[in-house]
């Protein structure tokens, strides 16, 4: 037996939307655009917008829910988002508040300023969030969560 561990790298690339650096930037952008004030941004809201930013189909579903064209929507909880939250906290970009929500730290705010300076960086994400971020209210999220509790328990 050998005491060595051999790592054999594979040629498979990780898709951009699963790279931790992209997810951290995406969630910081979501928090900066969606959640103002001291209340912070819920993990559910982060997941909803992260999913919407991943596919045009989910973008449309979220738009339909926001404008009450559909009574509910399914929310995809992605483990890469949870992992990105942990990395962002470890890198001092995010702060978790006592109520469980998340807010950008001063370092996170500076990070977002750098992202905003570059018009080519996360341009589709910025455009979508500028248009819809304030329209998904906490009340709409509470309605969704109540539907999960009472219809799918």
**For residue range 107-141, what is the model confidence (pLDDT) as tens digits?**
999 999 999 999 999 999 999 999 999 999 888 99
| DSSP line for 1-37 | --S-------SPPPPGGGSHHHHHHHHHHHHHHH--S
pLDDT of residue 6: 67
Ranges under pLDDT 50 in the chain: 1
pLDDT of residue 144: 86
Q: Considering only CA atoms, which of 139, 135, 153 is closest in space to residue 59? A: 135
Phi and psi dihedrals of 71, rounded to 5?
-80, -20
pLDDT of residue 10: 66
Residue 114 tokens read as 């750098």
Q: Considering only CA atoms, which of 70, 53, 17, 73 is closest in space to residue 129? A: 53
């Amino acid at each position: 037996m050998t005491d060595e561990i051999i790592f054999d790298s594979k040629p498979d690339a990780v898709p951009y939307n699963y790279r931790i650096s992209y997810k951290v930037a995406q969630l910081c952008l979501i928090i900066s655009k969606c959640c103002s004030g001291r209340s912070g941004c819920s993990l559910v809201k982060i997941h909803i917008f992260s999913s919407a930013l991943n596919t045009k189909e989910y973008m449309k579903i979220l738009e339909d829910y926001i404008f009450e064209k559909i009574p509910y929507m399914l929310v995809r909880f992605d483990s890469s988002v949870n992992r990105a939250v942990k990395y962002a906290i470890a890198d001092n970009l995010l702060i978790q508040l006592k109520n469980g929500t998340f807010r950008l730290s001063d370092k996170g705010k500076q990070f977002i300023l750098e992202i905003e300076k570059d018009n080519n960086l996360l341009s589709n994400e910025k455009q979508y969030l500028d248009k819809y971020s304030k329209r998904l209210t906490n009340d709409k999220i509470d309605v969704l969560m109540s539907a999960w509790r009472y219809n799918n328990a």
